[in-house]
Amino acid sequence: MSDETAPKADGVRQFVVGYDDDGIRLDRWFKRHLPDTSFNLVSRWARTGQLRVDGARADPGDRLVAGQTLRVPPAEPAKAAAAAAAKPKRERAPLSDEQTALALGMVIHTDPQAIVLNKPPGLATQGGTKTTEHVDGLLDALMFENEGRPKLVHRLDKDTSGALLIARTARAAAFFSKSFSGRTARKVYWALVAGVPEIEDGLIDLPIAKQPGTGGEKMHVSEVEGQASRTRYRVLEQAGNRASWVELQPLTGRTHQLRVHMAAIGHPIVGDGKYGGLDAFLTGGVSRKMHLHARRIRIDHPDGGRVDVTAELPHHFADSMALLGFDLSRGDAPLSDEAPPPTRAEQKQFAKQHAKTVRKDRKGERRGRGAPETTPRPAAHDKRTGPTTRGGPAKPRGAPGAKTGSGPRSGSAKRSPATSRPRGPAKPPR
71 and 168, same domain (yes or no) = no
What CATH number does residue 23 fall under? 3.10.290.10
Helix axes 39-47, 26-33, angle to 10 degrees: 130
CA dihedral (336, 342, 346, 347) positive or negative: positive
Residue type, position 212, single letter: P
Kindly give the residue spans of alpha helices, DSSP state H, lying in 34-185.
39-47, 77-86, 97-106, 170-181
Q: Which CATH number belongs to the domain containing residue 321 in this structure?
A: 3.30.2350.10
Q: φ and ψ at 419, to 5 degrees?
A: -115, 10
Whether residues 74 and 177 share a domain: the answer is no
Residues in contact with 60: Cβ distance below 8 Å, sequence separation at least 6, in sequence order: 25, 26, 27, 39, 42, 43, 46
- What is the domain extent for residue 248? 102-336
65 and 120 co-located in one domain: no
Q: Is 157 a catalytic residue?
A: yes
In the predicted structure, residue 386 carries a pLDDT above the cut 60: no
- The alpha-helical segments, DSSP class H, found in 70-162 are 77-86, 97-106
Question: Within this chain, do residues 295 and 194 fall inside the same structural domain, yes or no?
Answer: yes
Angle, alpha carbons 183-188-189 (nearest 5°) = 125
Distances (CA, A) of 28 to 59, 61, 205, 329: 12, 9, 36, 46
Task: Tell whether 48 and 171 lie within a shared domain.
Answer: no
Range 184-202 average pLDDT: 96
| DSSP letter (8 states) at residue 113 | S
Last residue of a domain, one of 27, 58, 84: 84
Residue 312 lies in a domain: yes
What confidence tier does 339 reach under pLDDT thresholds 50, 70, 90?
A: low
| Cβ–Cβ < 8 Å for 189, 253 | no
My answer on whether 16 and 121 are in the same domain is no
In a domain, 313, yes or no: yes
Q: Are residues 264 and 225 in the same domain?
A: yes
What integer pLDDT is reported at residue 417 of this predicted model?
42
Q: Which of the listed residues 272, 301, 336 is the one where a domain comes to its end?
A: 336
Asked whether the beta carbons of 225 and 209 are under 8 A apart, the reply is yes
Summarised one tens digit per residue, pLDDT across range 206-250 is 999 999 988 778 999 999 999 999 999 999 999 999 999 999 999
171 backbone dihedrals φ, ψ, rounded to 5°: -65, -45
Name which of 3-7, 31-35, 117-121, 189-193 the model is least confident about. 3-7
Residue 39 in any domain: the answer is yes
β-strands 107-110, 151-152 pairing: unpaired
Q: Catalytic pick from 21, 62, 157, 272? A: 157
How far apart CA 159 and CA 259 sit, in angstroms, is: 11
Number of domains the chain is built from? 2
Range with the poorest average pLDDT among 88-92, 236-240, 400-404: 400-404
**pLDDT band at 415, cuts 50/70/90?**
very low
Q: Are 44 and 61 in contact (CB under 8 A)?
A: no
Overall average pLDDT of the 336-355 stretch: 70
DSSP one-letter code for 156: -
In contact, 29 and 46? CB cutoff 8 Å: no
Q: Is residue 270 part of a domain?
A: yes
C-alpha angle 374-376-379 in degrees, rounded to nearest 5: 155
**Per-residue pLDDT at 141 exceeds 60:** yes
Burial profile 27-47: b = 16 or more Cβ within 10 angstroms, e = fewer: bbbbeebbebbbeebbeebbe
Report pLDDT digits (tens) over 64-78: 988 899 999 987 765
Cα Rg, the chain, nearest whole Å? 32
Closest CA to 247 of 213, 295, 195, 287: 295
End-to-end CA distance of the chain: 99
Does residue 372 belong to any structural domain of this protein? no
Residue 379 lies in a domain: no
* 135 and 77 within one domain: no
Per cent of the chain over pLDDT 70 is: 75
Highest mean pLDDT pick, 6-10, 250-254, 347-351 = 250-254
Q: Does the residue 123 lie in any domain? A: yes
What pLDDT score does 401 carry? 46
Question: Do 142 and 214 fall into the same domain?
Answer: yes
Residues 346-377 pLDDT 10s: 667 677 777 877 777 776 666 555 545 555 55
Q: Is residue 363 part of a domain?
A: no
- What distance in Å separates the CA atoms of residue 254 and residue 166, rounded to the nearest whole number? 20
159 and 308 assigned to the same domain: yes
Q: What is the pLDDT of residue 414?
A: 43
Indicate the residue among 336, 356, 384 that finishes a domain. Answer: 336
Is the same domain home to 222 and 292? yes
Q: What mean pLDDT, rounded, does the chain reach?
A: 83
According to the model, what pLDDT value does residue 142 have? 96
Within this chain, do residues 106 and 79 fall inside the same structural domain, yes or no? Answer: no
Q: Strand 243-250 and strand 292-300: pairing?
A: unpaired
